[in-house]
Amino acid sequence: MQINVAQLLKEPVGSSRKYQTDEIPDNDNINSIKGALVLVRTNRGLIVKGEMTASVVSLCSRCLKPITYQIDYEFEEEAFPSIDMSTGLSLPVEPESLVIDNTHTLDLSDMLVQYALLTIPIKPLCRPDCAGLCPQCGTNLNDSICQCSHKSADTQWLKLASLKKERGF
């Protein structure tokens, strides 16, 4: 998402603008990013705040089925102009910060993706109780039961945990 902020930079500190974003980012794992953005003029630049929802494509970490799920995230960043509005002279900018370019355009696409990637769960599941794949024959245990024995460490641990609960440990 690119926003021309020339007008907002001419306005007094505290002035703000709201935007809706609905974009398809250039990222294989993210289908779309939607949400509301607000830009607020500060004495140094702009505060950018957003509440986003991204649609993520991934594989279930247990059964490897392709899944699509939504993540919600928020962010707040400060963006700094790279040239002075009144004089047109270049201003020093920190390499890590969000920069408004010399045509007064603020490009938020990378930032929207970076924050989305930080929010993606490490082990997404197709459903909370996904049974996963049989470690011996590879059968998807959500769809069918195979002939192998399924005393995985997980279920053993759960049994132990419920036993402890029953006995009041």
Q: Could you list the residues that contact Zn ion (CB under 5 A)?
A: 60, 62-63, 126, 130, 134, 136-137, 139, 146, 148
Closer residue to Zn ion, CB minimum distance, 117 or 146: 146
**Is there a contact between 21 and 34 (Cβ–Cβ < 8 Å)?**
yes
Find the shortest distance in angstroms from Cβ 118 to Zn ion. Answer: 23
Q: With respect to Zn ion, which residue has the nearer C-beta, 24 or 145?
A: 145
- Taking the complex as a whole, how short is the minimal distance between the CB of residue 105 and Zn ion, in angstroms? 42
Pairwise CA distance, residues 2 & 60, whole Å:
33
Q: Give the nearest distance from C-beta 129 to Zn ion in angstroms.
A: 9
3-state secondary structure of 16: strand
Of 23, 19, 74, which is closest to residue 52 (Cα–Cα)? 74
Closest to Zn ion by CB, 15 or 139:
139
**What 3-state DSSP class applies to 52?**
strand
Question: Which CB atom, from 63 or from 108, has the smaller least distance to Zn ion?
Answer: 63
The burial class, CB within 10 Å (0-12 / 13-18 / 19+), for 139 is middle
Alpha-carbon distance of 80 to 72, in angstroms, equals 26
Torsion (CA) 148, 154, 160, 165 in degrees, nearest 10: -130
Please, what is the minimum distance in Å from the beta carbon of residue 54 to Zn ion? 20
Give the nearer residue to Zn ion in terms of CB position, either 13 or 137: 137
- Closest approach, Cβ 57 to Zn ion, in A, equals 14
